[in-house]
C-alpha cells in the first residue's frame, strides 16, 4: 500500500475513534455482569478485585493497540480492526476503492 493521503489519514483517525468507542461499549457491557449481584454477593472484595483486574487488563490491551500509533502504521491498524470486527465493511467503505479493496484482500488471508 502506498503512503496514505491526508484525507485517508483523517478518515483513519476517525475510524480508530469509532473502533475505540465500540471497544469501550463492549467492555462496559461485559463488566456490567460482574457488578450485577452487588446486593447479594458474599464477598465484595472478590467482586472488586475481579472488576479491578478486568479494567487493568482492558487498559493494557488499549495501550498496546492504540498507545503509540504512527502514520506509517495506519493501514495495518485499520486492517486489524477490520479483521477483529471492530470496524465493519460499511466503515471501511468510506475509503477509496483501492484502499478498501486492499483491506478486504489482506483480511481474507487471515480468515
Predicted pLDDT at 2: 64
Residue 20 lies in a domain: yes
Cβ(15)–Cβ(94) under 8 Å? yes
Predicted pLDDT at 68: 82
Q: Assess whether pLDDT exceeds 90 at residue 42.
A: no
Residue 103 lies in a domain: yes
Query: CA separation (Å) from 6 to 10, 42, 73?
Result: 6, 55, 14
Report d(CA 60, CA 106) in Å as an integer: 27
Across the chain, which distance is largest between two alpha carbons, in Å?
Answer: 58
**Which residue range(s) make up the domain with 77?**
6-108
Residue 84 lies in a domain: yes
Residue 28 lies in a domain: yes
Residue 80 lies in a domain: yes
Torsion sign over Cα 15, 17, 20, 22:
negative
Per the structure, how many domains does the chain have? 1
Residue 1 lies in a domain: no
Predicted pLDDT at 3: 79
pLDDT tens track for 16-39: 999 999 999 999 998 888 887 777
Amino acid at each position: 500500500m502506498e503512503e496514505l493521503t491526508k484525507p485517508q489519514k483523517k478518515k483513519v483517525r476517525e475510524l480508530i475513534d469509532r473502533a475505540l468507542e465500540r471497544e469501550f461499549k463492549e467492555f462496559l457491557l461485559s463488566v456490567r455482569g460482574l457488578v450485577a449481584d452487588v446486593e447479594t454477593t458474599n464477598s465484595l472484595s472478590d467482586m472488586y478485585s475481579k472488576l479491578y483486574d478486568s479494567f487493568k487488563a482492558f487498559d493494557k490491551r488499549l495501550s498496546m493497540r492504540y498507545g503509540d500509533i504512527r502514520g506509517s502504521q495506519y493501514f495495518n491498524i485499520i486492517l486489524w480492526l477490520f479483521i477483529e470486527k471492530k470496524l465493519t465493511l460499511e466503515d471501511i467503505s468510506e475509503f477509496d476503492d483501492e484502499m478498501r479493496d486492499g483491506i478486504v484482500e489482506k483480511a481474507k488471508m487471515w480468515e
